[in-house]
């Protein structure tokens, strides 16, 4: 191992950037991390290098395969300085707890403008006319094109890019028809777009078909020979989405036999490529994956990807994480504040429950129940699971590891809360019945409070080391507990008492400065009136 890479995992985190990333992104990362820009690594070199890095930032040219992930012993985050993540094995990353985050809106305008540019270029023979003129040919009659005004643009996929393309096309007087089963009729009407229920309606009815779907198992090969046959003989195909969505052999056939009028392509099945048979056809305009290549888009993508990676390396969940629950929209910040409390409650619940069952019930009451609480479900699972598993848990791998252990999570939300503005209750079935803990955040600083445990209500700030004692409700018990702990050199920080009916049962929740060991618990339980004593470590 070289001197350069000899550091241990506690050194300054290292980020590998194997593709061209905008300078502001690199500068941002260099403030806190070591950044190695190593352009054009071969797949073999990437495999060799990846084990030394905590973060990786890529664009579309780097294939982050399961093998790369396998070798990425200390990798914590993959940042995609762009939109498409089809070059990352997200499943493999998730299993290993590696966060994947992209820069979703960074280059949508660039991609949409490139699409519109390609549409006009292919409709008016602009590239070939340019090339021939520069080559000494003034040939006006060979390049009579078609207008786009009054024609139908058919979109497959009406997400961020598709919507901007639609706006531009409507501005040029086109009719826009779109197939996207995940966009409602109302939304399409609002955009001035007609909704196609089937992709065939687009293939059959459009003069220009433009693709704006991600590359997924459902979209690969979507534009095959059959689809191309459905297109008008006068129609053009535009692909600024991804290679592989179009079957390139079938497209070659369709173009050569003039089944369609032409095509404009920015992306290809295999990239980089310079020798595709399609390149030899006259009715084709091609660019080498330039959809995102504008100064503005690259700055945005570079900065966003760098911010995402920096957040993850500092232990946070970046807002554009693809494989972790990220609260978004209204209440996102409010909900995030409960994450640590839920994890603490999960840890407490595990340590108080003997032979726990397989269903964790998470109940939200009051204000917190009004928002998206999926992050908190995972926080609670993370706390519960942490003492059971050897691997480090994070927001990425926790749900998968919980499932693998047969743990099921059931969530309930009640918008009213009787005593607290917000309350989180965790319940775990066990042989001895349901074990319940609850907590809240109070005050302007949203400080955590433990509200219920071991069958009693308390009000105590949770601490790293705590002791829960159940006892008979008779005089002198608090003093005896304090004296026993004192005799063993254990300092009490805080104590709260929970009572049942006076004279029946009571409990104490005690925070202590050091761990309470087994002999101390034995000493407590040897005292008349103490029925149960449990020590827990909460973080
Ligand atoms: N050539 C380039 O440089 C660039 C290419 N892209 C590509 O464009 C794609 C789209 O980007 P955005 O619009 O930002 O993504 P987006 O996620 O906002 O939109 C994708 C849309 O496709 C729809 N969709 C998904 N599966 C579908 C299916 N089977 N049939 C019909 N519709 C389906 C979704 O409902 C969504 O509305 C990216 O995934 C990326 O691959 C994006 C930026 C630059
Ligand atoms: O953002 C995307 O999906 C793109 O296709 C852009 O790719 P690039 O970052 O330019 O390699």
Q: Which CATH superfamily is domain 326-427 in?
A: D-3-phosphoglycerate dehydrogenase; domain 3 (3.30.1330.90)
pLDDT at 391: 78
Q: Which of 20, 59, 216, 219 is the pocket-test mutation for ligand 2 (most atoms within 8 Å of CB)?
A: 59
In 59-109 the beta strands, taken as DSSP E runs, fall at 77-80, 99-101
Ligand 1: residue whose CA is nearest its atom 39: 214
Residue 499: pLDDT over 90: no
pLDDT at 4: 36
Q: Which of the pair, 136 or 417, is modelled with greater confidence?
A: 136
Cis bond upstream, residue 70 (ω within 30)? no
Query: What is the CA(19)–ligand 1 centre distance, in A?
Result: 22
Q: Which of the pair, 430 or 263, is modelled with greater confidence?
A: 263
Ligand 2: nearest atom to the Cα of 85: 3
Question: In whole numbers, what is the pLDDT of the chain averaged over residues?
Answer: 94
Residue 3: pLDDT over 80: no
Residue 2: pLDDT over 50: no
Ligand 1: nearest atom to the Cα of 104: 14
Ligand 1: residue whose CA is nearest its atom 6: 241
Strand order of the β-sheet with 99-101 is 34-37, 14-17, 55-58, 77-80, 99-101
φ, ψ (nearest 5 deg) of residue 280: -85, -5
pLDDT at 78: 98
Task: Please state which CATH class domain 454-539 belongs to.
Answer: alpha beta
Terminal CA-CA length for the chain: 35
Provide mean pLDDT across the span 435-460.
96
- Exposure of 226 in the CB half-sphere (CA atoms within 13 A): 4
pLDDT at 10: 53
Residue 5: pLDDT over 50: no
DSSP 82: S
Fold (topology level) of 108-286: Rossmann fold (3.40.50)
Which positions ≥6 away from 97 have C-beta within 8 Å? 76, 391, 392, 393, 394, 396, 397
Parallel, antiparallel, or unpaired: how do β-strands 236-239 and 208-211 relate? parallel
Cα–Cα distance measured from residue 193 to residue 177, given in angstroms and rounded to the nearest whole number: 6
Secondary structure of residue 192 in the 3-state scheme: coil
Query: What is the CA(80)–ligand 1 centre distance, in A?
Result: 15
Annotated catalytic residues are: 242, 271, 289
Is any ligand 1 atom within 6 A of the Cβ of residue 60?
A: no
Q: Do domains 2-106+296-313 and 108-286 have the same CATH topology?
A: yes
Query: What is the CA(182)–ligand 2 centre distance, in A?
Result: 23
pLDDT tens, position by position, 99-130: 999 999 999 999 999 999 999 999 999 999 99
Residue 237: pLDDT over 80: yes
Q: Which of 83, 213, 268 is the pocket-test mutation for ligand 2 (most atoms within 8 Å of CB)?
A: 83
Is any ligand 1 atom within 6 A of the Cβ of residue 2?
A: no
**Percentage of residues of the chain with pLDDT beyond 90:** 86
Helical H segments across 257-327, by residue range: 295-313
Residue 6: pLDDT over 50: no
Ligand 2: nearest atom to the Cα of 84: 3
**Res. 502 pLDDT band, cuts 50 70 90:** confident
Q: Which ligand is nearest to the CA of 19?
A: 2
pLDDT at 1: 31
pLDDT tens, position by position, 349-401: 999 998 888 899 999 999 999 999 999 999 999 999 988 888 778 889 999 88
Angle at the Cα of 123 from the Cα atoms of 121 and 127, rounded to 5 degrees: 35
Is any ligand 1 atom within 6 A of the Cβ of residue 382?
A: no
pLDDT at 449: 98
Task: Please state which CATH class domain 2-106+296-313 belongs to.
Answer: alpha beta
pLDDT tens, position by position, 448-486: 999 999 999 999 999 999 999 999 999 999 999 999 999
ipTM: 0.99
φ, ψ (nearest 5 deg) of residue 13: -60, 145
Q: Which ligand is nearest to the CA of 105?
A: 1
Residue 537: pLDDT over 80: yes
pLDDT at 8: 45
Query: What is the CA(387)–ligand 1 centre distance, in A?
Result: 41
Where is average pLDDT lowest: 3-12, 222-231, 248-257, 443-452? Answer: 3-12
Provide mean pLDDT across the span 140-156.
97
Is any ligand 2 atom within 6 A of the Cβ of residue 59?
A: yes
Q: Which of 112, 159, 182, 216 is the pocket-test mutation for ligand 1 (most atoms within 8 Å of CB)?
A: 159
Is any ligand 2 atom within 6 A of the Cβ of residue 25?
A: no
Strand partners, 422: 366
Cα–Cα distance measured from residue 211 to residue 208, given in angstroms and rounded to the nearest whole number: 10
Domain locations along the chain: 2-106+296-313, 108-286, 326-427, 454-539
pLDDT tens, position by position, 10-32: 589 999 999 999 999 999 999 99
Provide mean pLDDT across the span 513-537.
95
Query: What is the CA(118)–ligand 2 centre distance, in A?
Result: 17
Query: What is the CA(166)–ligand 1 centre distance, in A?
Result: 14
């Amino acid at each position: 191992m070289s001197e350069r890479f000899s550091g241990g995992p506690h050194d300054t985190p290292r980020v590998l950037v194997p593709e061209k990333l905008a300078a502001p992104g690199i500068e941002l990362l260099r403030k806190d991390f070591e950044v190695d820009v190593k352009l054009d690594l071969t797949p073999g070199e990437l495999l060799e290098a990846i084990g030394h890095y905590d973060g990786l930032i890529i664009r579309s040219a780097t294939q982050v395969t399961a093998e790369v992930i396998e070798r990425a012993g200390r990798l914590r985050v993959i940042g995609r300085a762009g939109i498409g993540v089809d070059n990352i094995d997200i499943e493999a990353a998730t299993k290993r707890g590696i966060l994947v985050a992209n820069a979703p809106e960074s280059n949508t305008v660039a991609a949409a403008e490139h699409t519109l540019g390609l549409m006009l270029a292919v409709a008016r023979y602009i590239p070939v006319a340019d090339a021939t003129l520069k080559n000494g040919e003034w040939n006006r009659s060979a390049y009579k094109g078609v207008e786009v005004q009054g024609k139908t643009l058919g979109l497959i996929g009406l997400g961020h890019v598709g919507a901007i393309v639609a706006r531009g096309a409507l501005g040029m007087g086109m009719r826009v028809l779109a197939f996207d089963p995940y966009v409602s009729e109302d939304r399409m009407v609002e955009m001035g777009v007609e909704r196609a229920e089937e992709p065939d309606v687009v293939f059959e009815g459009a003069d220009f078909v433009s693709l704006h779907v991600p590359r997924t198992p459902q979209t690969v090969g979507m534009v095959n020979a059959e689809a191309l046959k459905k297109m008008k003989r006068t129609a053009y195909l535009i692909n600024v989405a991804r290679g592989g969505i179009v079957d390139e052999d079938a497209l070659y056939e369709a173009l050569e036999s003039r089944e369609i009028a032409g095509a404009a392509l920015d992306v290809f099945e295999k990239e980089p490529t310079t020798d595709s048979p399609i390149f030899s056809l006259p009715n084709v305009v091609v660019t080498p994956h330039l959809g995102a290549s504008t100064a503005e888009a690259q700055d945005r993508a570079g900065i966003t990807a760098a911010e995402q990676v920096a957040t993850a390396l500092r232990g946070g969940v970046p807002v554009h994480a693809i494989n972790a629950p990220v609260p978004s929209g209204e209440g996102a910040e409010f909900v995030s504040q409960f994450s640590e409390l839920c994890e603490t409650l999960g840890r407490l619940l595990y340590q108080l429950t003997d032979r726990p069952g397989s269903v964790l019930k998470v109940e939200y009451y009051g204000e917190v129940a009004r928002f998206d609480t999926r992050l908190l479900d995972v926080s609670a699972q993370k706390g519960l699971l942490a003492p059971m598993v050897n691997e480090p848990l994070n927001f990425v791998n926790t749900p998968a590891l919980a499932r693998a252990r047969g743990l099921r999570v059931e969530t309930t939300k009640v918008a009213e809360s009787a005593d607290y503005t917000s309350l989180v209750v965790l319940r775990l079935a066990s042989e001895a019945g349901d074990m319940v803990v609850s907590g809240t955040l109070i005050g302007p600083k949203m400080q955590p409070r433990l509200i219920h445990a071991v069958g009693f209500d308390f009000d105590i700030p949770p601490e790293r080391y705590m002791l829960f004692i159940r006892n008979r409700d008779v005089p002198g018990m608090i003093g005896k507990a304090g004296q026993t702990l004192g005799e063993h050199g254990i300092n009490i920080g805080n104590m709260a008492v929970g009572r049942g009916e006076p004279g029946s049962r009571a409990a104490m929740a005690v925070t202590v400065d050091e761990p309470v060991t087994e002999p101390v618990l034995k000493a407590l339980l040897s005292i008349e009136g103490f029925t149960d004593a449990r020590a827990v470590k909460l973080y």
